[in-house]
Amino acid sequence: MAERQKVTLAHLYDKLRQGQPITMITCYDYPMADLVDKAGIDIILVGDSLGMAVLGFDSTLPVTQDMMMPLVQAVRRGSPHSWLIGDMPYMTYQPSVETAIRCAGRFMAEGACDAVKLEGGREIIDRAQAIVKSGIPVMGHLGLTPQSASALGGFKVQGKSAAQAKRIVDDAKALEEAGCYSVLLEMVPDRIAEIITQRATVPIIGIGSGPHVHGQVLIFHDMFGLNPKFKPKMVKVFANAGQVILDGLKQYAAEVTSRQFPQPDNWFTIKDEEINELKRMLGE
């Protein structure tokens, strides 16, 4: 089989032009990144969702860039071919243009990312634009923006009224005009996502935003049954790895308890003469 080519912006835009759906998934560690790479997924996002998916927080707000960096690096090692996005965590771009450029630059220089993502519309447009001007590709993120969940009234669908939807449509255009190479729409009604997609000249990637977008993203732990707290409506469980692992753990506990594990295949031996010599040395 031919070696997989590294995904580039040109590759993503080719897919857009040819009307081929773009595939994207979140990922947070080396072995899973290896599988994602082998599956040929176009884009990996090391999302700040790792705070909830991996670290067990109730929101993404406690996540820092220092927490994310080793995971970003592990994912890059596991997936040399996918387009890798570092998700800018809370308060790494809100305070100022300068903090935004520094944080984005760190994902590129230390994490070997291909791009960064930040949440928000026209209120963060100067930061998105400045990062783009620094030579770093930026993905925007509209709709439910979890870092602002408190202000948005919780983790719920955004853009259900015409006025709210108009804001999101205008924000998407503003992000595109600021130079964002792509925009992610989270939990936006399908027909609003369709309008945004029809007007866009950059790839629109959706999560819980219907079928009319240019590509889909899901959170890894949700789609493999590894989220112990809940299963969001927008998720399809593609394989229940959580159940497989739970069954394996129960079997392991049972086999250790009943002394069925380990078996000779699972341990290491020593020659009789060596053990006899040891016993002699120990005076046994």
Site stretch for ligand KIV (CB under 6 A), options 28-36, 42-50, 107-115, 129-137: 42-50
227 is a site residue for ligand KIV (CB under 6 A): no
> Counting runs of H as helices and runs of E as strands, what totals does the chain give?
12, 8
DSSP string, 30-78: HHHHHHHHHTT-SEEEE-TTHHHHTS--SSSTT--HHHHHHHHHHHHHH
Please say whether the beta carbons of 159 and 144 come within 8 A: no
Which two tokens mark 189? Answer: 């009604």
By CB under 6 A, residue 47 contacts ligand KIV? yes
Q: Is 186 noted as a catalytic residue in this protein? A: yes
Q: Is 222 in the site for ligand KIV (CB under 6 A)?
A: no
Query: By CB under 6 A, is residue 147 in contact with ligand KIV?
Result: no
Residue 216 contacts residue 204 (beta carbons within 8 Å): no
Q: Please say which residue, 150 or 260, places its beta carbon nearer to ligand KIV.
A: 150
Q: Enumerate residues 200-219 that contact ligand KIV by CB under 6 A.
A: 207, 217, 219
Q: Identify whether the C-beta of residue 37 lies closer than 8 Å to the C-beta of residue 76.
A: no
Report if residue 26 touches ligand KIV, rule: CB under 6 A.
Answer: yes
As given in the structure block, the two tokens for residue 171 are 């924000």
Pick the catalytic residue from 186, 255, 274, 277. Answer: 186
Q: Which stretch binds ligand KIV (CB under 6 A): 27-35, 43-51, 172-180, 273-281?
A: 43-51
Q: How far is CA 180 from CA 32, 46, 128, 194, in A?
A: 28, 18, 7, 19
Q: CB 83 → ligand KIV: shortest distance, Å?
A: 14
Residues known to be catalytic: 186
Q: Where along the sequence are the contacts to ligand KIV (CB under 6 A)?
A: 26, 45, 47-49, 87, 141, 186, 207, 217, 219
